[in-house]
Chains A and B, each alone.
Chain A
Amino acid sequence: EAQVTQNPRYLITVTGKKLTVTCSQNMNHEYMSWYRQDPGLGLRQIYYSMNVEVTDKGDVPEGYKVSRKEKRNFPLILESPSPNQTSLYFCASTPLGGDGYEQYFGPGTRLTVT
């Protein structure tokens, strides 16, 4: 089954404790992206990657890091989480090379930073 998976689905942590949210897709997509969803703000892009070892900032990158060492994986790293990073996070992927492809979303990771 074609899918995007994220782990963990729920995470409660404390300020300053480094964490990683994993994202994996099995569709051989080149483009992967991280979004955060906040009430009243919709989804905003954090980082994206066009392919292995090619990443770039989205609209709200502060406080986040990413890496793309393998095509299927795109982890999101919070090196020193703060309460304002409490949010619902989504990973998404889509193929390059053609217009009109939809983005496939993972199930989301709900993060609470206390």
Chain B
Amino acid sequence: AQSVTQLDSQVPVFEEAPVELRCNYSSSVSVYLFWYVQYPNQGLQLLLKYLSGSTLVESINGFEAEFNKSQTSFHLRKPSVHISDTAEYFCAVRTTGFQKLVFGTGTRLLVSP
């Protein structure tokens, strides 16, 4: 069975500082990896995804994540955060050929001025 671990439940950071949100997964088969973002009082939006090919994937708003197969990780990074990045971030994994998403417990990113 798959599982996703997000060790940090909350990450406080100052505006314009870099941030890394950690995600580790366990699976014995090939997977697809996703980061979803949930802004306050909203639903989930896809931030970025890894399917195959280049292990570094980027979003349109400056986030990036790197798939590391040997460490079974898919950490999310941003070199300089904004107040508007304050949200909860969920890492999720899906086995190739199946639609079920398995989510981590989420990391709340709190950006302060």
Contact = CB atoms under 8 A, between A and B. Distances in A.
A70 interface: no
Contacts of B100: 33, 45, 48, 58
Given A40-B105, A41-B105, A42-B105, A106 B43 contact: yes
Contacts of B34: 102
A19 interface: no
Contacts of B105: 40-42
Given A42-B105, A42-B106, A100-B51, A107 B32 contact: no
A99 B51 contact: yes
A74 interface: no
Nearest to A94: B99
Interface size on A, as a range, is 20 to 34
A40 B9 contact: yes
B49 A102 contact: yes
A90 interface: yes
A96 B104 CA distance: 23
B74 interface: no
Interface string B35-46: 010000011111
Contacts of A102: 34, 46, 49
A25 to B, nearest CB: 13
A34 interface: no
B90 interface: yes
A80 interface: no
Which 7 pairs across A and B sit closest by C-beta, in order of nearness? A42-B105, A43-B103, A42-B103, A105-B44, A100-B51, A105-B43, A107-B43
19 contacts: A33-B99, A33-B101, A41-B105, A42-B4, A43-B44, A43-B101, A45-B101, A90-B44, A92-B101, A94-B99, A99-B32, A99-B51, A99-B97, A105-B36, A105-B45, A106-B43, A107-B42, A107-B43, A108-B43
